Amino acid sequence: MSTQTNSSAHRHNVARRSDVCIVGNGAIAKTAALGLSQAGHSVTLLVPPARPDAPQASAASGADKPWDVRVYALNHTAHTLLSSLKVWGALDMARVAPVDAMDVQGDGERGGHLGFDAFGAHAGTLAWIVEDSNLNQALDAALRFAQNVETVAGRACRIVNGADDVEVELEDGRVLAAQLLVGADGRESWVRGQCDIGIDYRSYHQRGIVTNFSCEKPHHNVAYQWFTCKDGIIALLPLPGDKVSLVWSAPETLADTIMSESLGELAIRLGEYADDKLGLLKPLLPEAVKAIPLALVRPHALTAPRVALVGDAAHAVHPLAGHGMNLGFGDIVDLLDTIAARDAHQGIGDERVLARYARARKEDVMLMQLATDGLERLFGANLEPVRVVRNFGLNLLDKLPLVKRRLIAHAMGR
């Protein structure tokens, strides 16, 4: 990233000046924009230009609207944040399913078992399953009413860090200036790359296959998960009514096979695991499926001069725990808290403020990275002694209510 001081001629090209410039167009970027604006800061949200071939949003609503294949298991941290921003109440709650219990099964004929439920966690519910479109539509509606947020469409080409602010140059010559730049632009973050922040990258050689089914038996708001060695990690999450959402972290060879088959054949494959729990699975119409490459991404820093990373730009983890999005919401909470607690003489892009943000996120992010990466390694080992130990561990943990309660409280964001 360039660190030169801006000249007066360069400043003459500034198209918009704000307290914060956020780069990104997903739910984390939008939530950060709302949170910072409601905290009294002016915000510029830089989004990519709309593609002419981009699919149009469905005009259908309610039960007639197709179900997203991308869903999120939002925890209590996300719920509290979105509620405080008046976004949770704008969700279509008819399309939100609570998770009242989790049923985790190990591999093999004598696979271990671990169960969590809301009653044991002293909570009304463990999490909520929310579609990507439902969340983004609620965020877009809130942004339309935000008084000090301006959305700018354009492609950034350079970041210039000056003495008093940071500037983002766009390909069309416009310049956006701010005290703080927030990179919320995903796993392949352009902002992170411009700041020369290195990463540790580990491909899991898996793809996350996501799609939806109807189920013959009621799911009773239970999220089911199977840790298998040969087939990867399979999760079926409850959707409203008699529907479930599949998240299958499948080895690449198996993922290629699954993606070449019909969803009916995929339902048959799932029957090996889910028949006794959910009965016959049928693809929802219209049929839709996606396969997403899975990798662990650990940036060497969460901040740079006048720059903070949030969401997948700051960390990408294995989806087996369903907490990638929740980590992003945790980033926003800690960034908002850190900025609000700064000394009166400190600007929001002050290096000491950003250092406190990085420290605030360190433990939570590290624990989730270690947990998800460690579990993936443990259950990916195809050795009988390892299989015996991990199944024993699941069964032992299931019999330790105090330990289970602490684990689930952390996962819930409480």
pLDDT by residue, tens only, the chain of 414 residues: 554 444 433 555 788 999 999 999 999 999 999 999 999 999 999 999 987 766 655 555 555 789 999 999 999 999 999 999 999 999 999 999 999 998 888 776 666 767 778 877 677 899 999 999 999 999 999 999 998 999 999 999 999 998 789 999 999 999 999 999 999 999 999 999 999 999 999 999 999 999 999 999 999 999 999 988 789 899 999 999 999 999 999 999 999 999 999 999 999 999 999 999 999 999 999 999 999 999 999 999 999 999 999 999 999 998 876 778 999 999 999 999 999 999 999 999 999 999 999 999 998 888 887 777 766 666 665 545 555 555 556 565 555 566 556 666 666 666
Please list, in sequence order, all residues whose beta carbon lies within 8 angstroms of the beta carbon of residue 383, skipping any fewer than 6 positions away: none
Pairing of β 127-131 and β 71-74: antiparallel
Give the span between the Cα atoms of 110 and 103, in whole angstroms.
Answer: 15
Residue 345's SS3 state is coil
pLDDT tens digits along 249-274 = 999 999 999 999 999 999 999 999 99
The DSSP letter of residue 125 is -
Structure tokens at 332: 């926003």
Question: For residue 177, what are the CA distances in angstroms to 43, 123, 182, 202?
Answer: 10, 44, 12, 35
Give the span between the Cα atoms of 119 and 112, in whole angstroms.
Answer: 22
Q: What is the CATH number of domain 11-50+66-411?
A: 3.50.50.60
The DSSP letter of residue 2 is B
pLDDT tens digits along 199-232 = 999 999 999 999 999 999 999 999 999 988 789 8
Which residue in 295, 76, 46, 364 sits closest to 182, CA to CA? 46
Global pTM reads 0.89
pLDDT of residue 3: 44
Residue 48's SS3 state is coil
Give the span between the Cα atoms of 224 and 99, in whole angstroms.
Answer: 10
